[in-house]
Chains A and B, each alone.
Chain A
């Protein structure tokens, strides 16, 4: 991604929204490809769940969404101000 930095004066790689789009479309294409391979290639299976087409992709996606949404809920209980633990009168 960013290892091919091209500096032209003050414009950097991701200052151009087109490049961000390119990265995103690249990701979408790879994901679609990886999902479709499952229907062609017969994976070596050890666990019954692995037989489901696209199991790893779906599981990874759902896991991350659940992770983030739960963590967001945790904030309501656990989040405090930055100086919560500081003794009074100290930065």
Chain B
């Protein structure tokens, strides 16, 4: 029974308090919630938690082990950085939903049974939607509606899968499930896949994240997909299918990222690319693979958060996120520029930056298992990520041609939040064995800093930069254009409405045809009947009394004539 405090409830209670406060007090209390909760979480150790009996079933709403603790720490850091970033740019709605959202994510990673997981899975969906709606533009409202529909679909799939899995196996435990245990397991797998943004299920992410506020996107990028990565690492490690799904995720979004104009949408595509590396690591399933996957999830929250924060600061100051309208901002936002470049170096996995020490674990794990084709794809994606996230983002926002925009540097609170993330990226990247490697689920005997690794990584990155330079100077590089690019969302934003409009129009015309044709026949029948029996018909005609009297007189006259003859 409860002997440890569940951090989710601290976050929920904090959200309630924050909702009642206003102004500076609100921002301060919101910022303190993850700090207070972290004090409790640091005291937790593997084996802590709650087990309860509910209607004769053993449930474990709170389970602490190395894997859940790592994500627990991570989500506290992410919530703190997000709320610090929101100090000036946030409002009540975003702080409250941000805290509820972070609390739901904590609830999900500490869930030991599938019922608890389902509850927090749905709470994640609902609370995060308000961060999309928080932008309060017609576009973000519509995007949020699409977002919540897909998130709820994931929740319902999880519920259906859980019920079937329970009927099949009699177990509600949220631990290794694997694909072999029937339909229920497959549905749970799919539910995780939706939130994990698998190919064809990914579009909710690239649709909604760039539509949220600067603060909203920073929160959104930290939690939902990482909970999904955690869930896959927990329940489906070593599932070979994940290797191929992950490889596809690393490769296809970078093509979209190259031609996308909205720079936060570029980052959203690049997020799918990074999650792809994690999914591959989980699919490999070796200790190195799993360690690499969760280590990369940890780093991704920090560097992707940093990149989203720098772009959010640009949006906050300039009001636009289009690469075609930006450029030259290093002149007026130099500090943000530097932080953005730290994030860019980290995601690109430059030596001394965090991506270098985690992504390579996954790539090495792939090589150990002799997945040759996947290895080539991951190398391609590594070059590609540098190209679109490492170069394109800083280049088009801060350098390129001068847009003439002269704005103020980002607010102090945003800069401090970015500074913390940037420091963490460099610290983890430089000293992984005294930081990140200590909290990974398995003991680490991987050494990232070998001469070969540093050299090969530098070769791949600098030659990617060379390719960018050559393409740019020769004019082959596609210009930034104000545009949208069709993706899977076209199927439900254009095709499906068009089909339903078509069906409606067809139903309408066929109804009109039936109406017209049927009525014509009925009318004819009616007219025929009416002709016979209607008031004007011969049978129903009312004769004037005068004519009857006349006819009577005629009859009498005839009778008289006949009588006398």
Measuring CB to CB, which residues of chain A are less than 8 angstroms from any residue of chain B? 1-3, 5, 12-14, 24, 27-28, 30-31, 34-35, 37-38, 41, 43-44, 46-47, 49-50, 54, 56-65, 67-72, 74-75, 77-82, 84-86, 90
Contacts and interface: CB of A to CB of B under 8 A. Distances in A.
Contact of A63 (B451, B464, B469, B470): B464
Given A63-B379, A64-B387, A81-B483, 8 more contacts: A5-B334, A13-B330, A34-B455, A37-B455, A43-B456, A56-B456, A67-B380, A82-B484
Interface in B332-380: 334, 337-338, 341, 367, 372, 375-376, 379-380
Given A2-B330, A2-B398, A72-B259, A67 B254 contact: yes
B139 A34 contact: no
Interface string B447-465: 0001110011111111111
A68 B383 contact: no
Interface string B467-487: 111110000111001111111
Nearest to A81: B483
Nearest to A14: B399
B461 A60 contact: yes
Contacts of B372: 47
A57 B461 CA distance: 8
A6 to B, nearest CB: 11
A67 to B, nearest CB: 5
B138 interface: yes
Given A46-B367, A67-B255, A31 B463 contact: yes
B486 A61 contact: no
A71 B462 contact: no
Interface of B: 138-139, 254-256, 258-259, 330-331, 334, 337-338, 341, 367, 372, 375-376, 379-380, 383-384, 387, 398-399, 450-452, 455-471, 476-478, 481-487, 493-494
Given A12-B331, A41-B455, A68-B258, A58 B463 contact: yes
Given A24-B469, A80-B486, A56 B459 contact: yes
A68 B330 contact: no
A80 B483 contact: yes
Contacts of B465: 27
Nearest to A30: B462
B481 A79 contact: yes
A40 B473 CA distance: 31
A75 B259 contact: yes
A47 to B, nearest CB: 6
Q: Main SS of chain A's interface residues? A: helix
Contact of A2 (B334, B380, B455): B334
Nearest to A28: B466
Contacts of A90: 138
B536 to A, nearest CB: 52
A79 B451 CA distance: 43
Given A27-B465, A47-B375, A60 B483 contact: no
10 contacts: A2-B337, A2-B338, A27-B469, A34-B458, A65-B470, A67-B384, A70-B255, A74-B256, A79-B486, A80-B484
Contact of A68 (B376, B456, B471, B484): B471
A2 B452 contact: no
A68 B493 contact: no
Contacts of B341: 1-3
A3 B344 CA distance: 14
A69 B139 CA distance: 31
Given A2-B338, A64-B387, A57 B139 contact: no
A28 B86 CA distance: 41
Contact of A57 (B376, B398, B452, B463): B463
A5 B460 CA distance: 28
A84 B458 CA distance: 41
A72 B478 contact: yes
B298 to A, nearest CB: 26
Nearest to A65: B467
Nearest to A13: B330
B483 A59 contact: no
A75 B478 contact: yes
Contacts of A24: 469
Contacts of B484: 79-82, 84-85
B462 A68 contact: no
Q: Which 4 A-B residue pairings sit nearest by Cβ, starting from the closest?
A: A64-B467, A56-B459, A60-B460, A71-B258
A56 B451 contact: no
Contacts of B337: 2-3
Contacts of B482: 82
Given A47-B372, A47-B375, A71-B259, A80 B383 contact: no
Contacts of B471: 64-65, 68
A63 B485 contact: no
A50 B451 CA distance: 15
B469 A79 contact: no
A64 B464 CA distance: 6
Contacts of B383: 59-60, 63-64, 67
A14 B398 CA distance: 11
A57 B460 contact: yes
Contacts of A30: 462
Contacts of B258: 67-68, 71
Contacts of A63: 379-380, 383-384, 464, 467
A22 B459 CA distance: 20
Contacts of A69: 476
Contacts of A49: 376
Contacts of B477: 68
